[in-house]
Amino acid sequence: MDFSKLRRDKSIVKSTLKEMDDGSITVIQPCKLYLPKRYEEHKLAIVETEIRVLAVFLLVVGDACALSSAMAMMQIMPTSTTTVDVGGEDYYEFSFDKGAQLTPNRNLVLQDTLCYYVYDEFMAKGRSPAFMGYEDLAKIFETASYHAGFNVAANNTPIEMITAAICRDAKDKTVYYRHSEMRLECVNVALRNVSLGATNTTARLNGAYFDQGLRSALINPSKTAEPIETLLRM
């Protein structure tokens, strides 16, 4: 499965979903829903007799797709379930036939702890889903106050700053994505990654995981001293 070959078109995907009087959402033409299988490892999905998943997934109708980024758990009722390979990682592919219920109840329960699990997985560990782009990740918590009942920050600026720090050029992870041509999809690094997270020699050597920091300082030496380094040397 290659998400890059799909085109974003919310109107087509929204026209596939129909809200019913009983609160359920029915699909009026076949569609598929994708999310990483590793969601199960981080309390973001339960795939058993009843399937409940974090409502951060990709809905696909033909060659059109749309991203759902609600910070809440949603029960889904797929017609069939399988696993597909996406860039060497397993993803769930939930298929819905015409007339199937996407969810039996569109009213989602508030669960503020989801914000921590998503932050830890998507940002601290740098493992956001392959279908999420640079702007998608920066906006992931924009509706958290409504869907999860929790304000991650006073505004979205801190999340945008973290996103700018962990998103890198696919060809060279030492280059920030915003400093690249921004033509290819970005790749993420863990926020806690010492070798790629620190931007100067002093930070690499004084932080945790000295071995990783030392190797990074030798392989990618700083070309100029940053202001904090100049201040510490005074």
Q: Give 179's pLDDT tier (boundaries 50, 70, 90).
A: confident
Q: What single letter denotes the amino acid at residue 14?
A: K
Spatial distance between the Cα atoms of 100 and 96, rounded to a whole number of angstroms: 6
**Position 164 in a domain:** no
User: What is the domain range of residue 222?
Assistant: 200-234
The residue from 92, 108, 124 where one domain ends is 108
Q: How far apart are CA 11 and CA 232, in angstroms?
A: 54
**Exposure of 48 in the CB half-sphere (CA atoms within 13 A):** 3
- Quote the pLDDT of residue 12: 92
The span from the first CA to the last CA of the chain, in angstroms, equals 55
Q: What is the mean pLDDT of the chain?
A: 86
- For the segment 92-129, what is each residue's pLDDT rounded down to a tens digit? 999 999 999 999 999 999 999 999 999 999 999 999 99
Is residue 122, in this structure, part of any structural domain at all? no
Which residue, of 71, 93, 108, is where some domain finishes?
108
Q: Tens of pLDDT along 12-42?
A: 999 999 999 998 999 999 999 999 999 999 8
Where residue 154 falls among pLDDT bands split at 50, 70, 90? confident
How many structural domains does the chain have? 2
Tell me the whole-structure pTM to 2 decimals: 0.83
Distance CA 153, CA 198 (A): 24
